[in-house]
């Protein structure tokens, strides 16, 4: 098999690239995905994501290494393994991040990645349900919208946050540079009743093009090289080893776990690590798999009275009513993203802009990271530190693609991250004590009144929290010794090989990572096409 472009991974980035690169009828693209088709209805019904986090075939079933940051627990580390990748199993929150996140990327020497540079690519992706303006656009492939409901407790949470000094924001994606604390309704990647995964938004419309071929159930083992030029990839499918040749470029879009793993198995990485696992080094690039950044979520939850909560609406007759509502008018709890309300607040005195993201839900979970809703009425607010200083790694353990790599974000290995988490937990307690919410509170379930000191709070956070699923930065873009790609997303020192996905972020964005990853792919596709035009003209 041969193509101009071979894309590895049909996730948020890979589906966008497959669409944009096949807009040129002369470009032949092969898209290779380890997972299968996205036929499971739970993918498409928004609330179905709660049932997908540990799905045996639609996810990779990864676990992070046991680490002191999680009190020695090996936490689940879900990643999508299906057309659409993680965008097919994610919480559908559409929040882009702070303008300063991208300005910071540019300040590190990455030309073309400042907020002003990337805003056109966020807009290019978007088909916004509201009116187009300077921030949002209509006509792109990705449906985005406000949630359809504003439940009583969520409205109370918005009011409570304003009582603590947050500014109410009608549009959480419209942030001025240097903004302060704010609260607003999260936006969703949803079109009508259904999830707007990257597969639905980008891949499905491109499937009818004769210049796109999608191969599912194909696990890529390594990139093939002729000297320093990438010429294709080797993969296994139905027990057979096959290859596909790339006349133009190989593009790795296998995500923040998959892309560094494939590079390492191809002999591109830290030579000491490659030697340890028995892979012959082909090209030394010490940063491959380093710099893993992620957000870590811990929650405060309360038992409540006097307002409806998800705990009741998602059971028995309540659930039956919600199903009818979904079918009849297309709203209600089955259309919800992982959360409806978000507050961005500053808890560290040294931060210039908010440093903690708090997400409110009018439901509560059983203690720990389990997604099992409580049987009694409840509400929860979870929080993550936006810009953690802890860095971890993704490291192949063996030369076999079938063996999961070691994954360790090394949460809380930097003391600043501990201070931010403690500050975030205290802010949530203040939120629940603000007049607009306090009237509903019966008792704090978790962490509970016994947990008060900084040490107790941090212990609780480490003991009960988990990933917010924002793995990034493992093939970071930049110019320093640990950078893996340049600002055109080309792998340093090699030809015809790019990485285009969440792994190239130089630093994790402050909030959710799907929108920025799709932006990266939109911009990456433009860079690929521009370079091809330049090569033709030369």
Ligand X SMILES: Cc1cc2nc3c(=O)[nH]c(=O)nc-3n(C[C@H](O)[C@H](O)[C@H](O)COP(=O)(O)OP(=O)(O)OC[C@H]3O[C@@H](n4cnc5c(N)ncnc54)[C@H](O)[C@@H]3O)c2cc1C
Active-site amino acid positions = 470
Residue 7 contacts by C-beta under 8 Å, 6 or more apart in sequence?
14, 17, 18, 21, 29, 30, 31, 32, 251, 253
Residue 86 as a binder of ligand X (CB under 6 A): the answer is: yes
Whether omega for the bond prior to residue 447 falls within 30 degrees of 0, making it cis, is yes
Residue 269 as a binder of ligand X (CB under 6 A): the answer is: no
* Binding flags for ligand X, 130-159, as an x/- string (CB under 6 A): ------------------------------
Residue 87 as a binder of ligand X (CB under 6 A): the answer is: yes
**Dihedral sign of CA atoms 490, 492, 496, 498 in order:** negative
Taking CB under 6 A as the criterion, the residue among 42, 50, 53, 433 binding ligand X is 53
Site for ligand X in 445-474 (CB under 6 A): 469-470
Contact 71, 459 (CB under 8 A): yes
- At closest approach, how far in Å is the CB of 338 from ligand X? 5
Residue 517 as a binder of ligand X (CB under 6 A): the answer is: yes
97 or 151: CB nearest ligand X: 97
- At closest approach, how far in Å is the CB of 262 from ligand X? 5
Place of tokens 């307002």: 307
- At closest approach, how far in Å is the CB of 26 from ligand X? 25
Residue 513 as a binder of ligand X (CB under 6 A): the answer is: yes
* Local structure of residue 166 (DSSP, 8 states): P
Candidates 131-139, 206-214, 254-262, 415-423; binding stretch for ligand X (CB under 6 A): 254-262
Can you read off the two tokens belonging to residue 132? 């187009």
Residue 9 as a binder of ligand X (CB under 6 A): the answer is: yes
Helices and strands (H and E) in the chain: how many: 15, 26
315 or 400: CB nearest ligand X: 400
Candidates 128-136, 279-287, 374-382, 510-518; binding stretch for ligand X (CB under 6 A): 510-518
Site for ligand X in 209-238 (CB under 6 A): 219-220
- At closest approach, how far in Å is the CB of 18 from ligand X? 11
Whether omega for the bond prior to residue 204 falls within 30 degrees of 0, making it cis, is no
Q: How many residues bind ligand X (CB under 6 A)?
A: 43
Maximum Cα–Cα distance across the chain: 71
3-state secondary structure of 167: strand
**Dihedral sign of CA atoms 363, 368, 370, 376 in order:** negative
Can you read off the two tokens belonging to residue 190? 């949803």
Candidates 81-89, 280-288, 414-422, 451-459; binding stretch for ligand X (CB under 6 A): 81-89
Q: Rounded to whole angstroms, how far apart are CA atoms 56 and 70?
A: 24
For the chain, what's the residue count? Answer: 538
136 or 303: CB nearest ligand X: 136
- At closest approach, how far in Å is the CB of 204 from ligand X? 15
Residue 139 contacts by C-beta under 8 Å, 6 or more apart in sequence?
127
Can you read off the two tokens belonging to residue 21? 């690169």
Residues interacting with ligand X, by CB under 6 A?
8-14, 32-35, 53, 78-81, 85-87, 89-93, 219-220, 253-256, 258, 262, 338, 401, 469-470, 501-502, 512-515, 517
């Amino acid at each position: 098999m041969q193509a101009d472009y071979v894309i590895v991974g049909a996730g948020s980035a890979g589906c966008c690239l497959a669409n944009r690169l096949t807009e040129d009828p002369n470009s032949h693209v092969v898209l290779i995905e380890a997972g299968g088709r996205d036929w499971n209805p739970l993918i498409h019904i928004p609330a179905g994501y709660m049932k997908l986090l540990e799905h045996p075939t639609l996810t990779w079933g990864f676990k992070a290494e046991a680490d002191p940051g999680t009190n020695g627990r090996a936490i689940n580390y879900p990643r999508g393994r299906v057309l659409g990748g993680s965008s097919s199993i994610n919480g559908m929150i559409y929040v882009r991040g702070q303008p300063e996140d991208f300005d910071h990327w540019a300040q590190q020497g990455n030309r073309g990645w400042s907020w002003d540079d990337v805003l056109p690519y966020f807009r290019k992706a978007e088909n916004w349900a509201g009116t187009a303006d300077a921030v949002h656009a209509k006509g792109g492939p990705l449906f985005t919208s406000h949630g359809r409901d504003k439940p009583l407790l969520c409205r109370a949470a918005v009011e409570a946050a304003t009582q603590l000094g947050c500014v109410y924001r009608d549009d959480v994606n419209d942030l001025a540079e240097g903004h302060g604390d704010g609260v607003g309704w999260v936006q969703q990647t949803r079109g009508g009743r259904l999830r707007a995964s990257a597969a639905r938004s980008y891949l499905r419309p491109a499937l009818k093009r004769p210049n796109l071929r999608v191969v599912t159930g194909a696990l890529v083992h390594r990139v093939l090289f002729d000297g320093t030029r990438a010429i294709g990839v080797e993969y296994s499918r139905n027990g057979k080893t096959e290859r596909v040749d790339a006349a133009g470029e190989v593009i790795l879009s296998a995500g923040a776990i998959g892309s560094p793993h494939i590079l390492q198995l191809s002999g591109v990485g830290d030579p000491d690590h490659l030697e340890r696992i028995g892979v012959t080094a082909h090209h030394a690039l010490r940063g491959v798999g380093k710099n893993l950044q992620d957000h870590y979520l811990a929650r405060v939850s309360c038992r409540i009275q006097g307002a409806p909560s998800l705990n009741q609406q998602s059971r028995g007759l309540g659930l039956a009513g919600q199903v009818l509502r979904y079918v009849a008018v297309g709203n209600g709890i089955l259309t919800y993203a992982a959360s409806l309300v978000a507050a961005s607040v500053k808890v560290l005195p040294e931060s210039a802009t908010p440093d903690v993201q708090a997400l409110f839900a009018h439901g509560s979970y059983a203690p720990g990271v389990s997604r099992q809703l409580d049987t009694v009425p409840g509400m929860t607010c979870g929080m993550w530190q936006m810009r953690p200083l802890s860095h971890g790694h993704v490291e192949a353990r063996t030369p076999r693609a079938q063996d999961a790599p070691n994954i360790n974000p090394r949460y809380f290995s930097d003391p600043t991250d501990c201070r931010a988490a403690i500050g975030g937990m205290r802010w949530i307690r203040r939120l629940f004590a603000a007049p607009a919410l306090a009237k509903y509170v019966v008792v704090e379930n978790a962490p509970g009144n016994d947990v008060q000191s900084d040490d107790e709070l941090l212990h609780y956070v480490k003991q009960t929290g988990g990933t917010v699923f924002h793995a990034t930065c493992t093939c970071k873009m930049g110019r320093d010794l640990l950078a893996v790609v340049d600002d055109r997303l080309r792998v340093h020192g090699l030809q015809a090989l790019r990485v285009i996905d969440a792994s190239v972020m130089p630093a994790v964005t402050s909030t959710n990572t799907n929108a920025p990853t799709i932006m990266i792919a939109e911009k990456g596709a433009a860079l690929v096409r521009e370079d091809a035009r330049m090569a033709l003209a030369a």
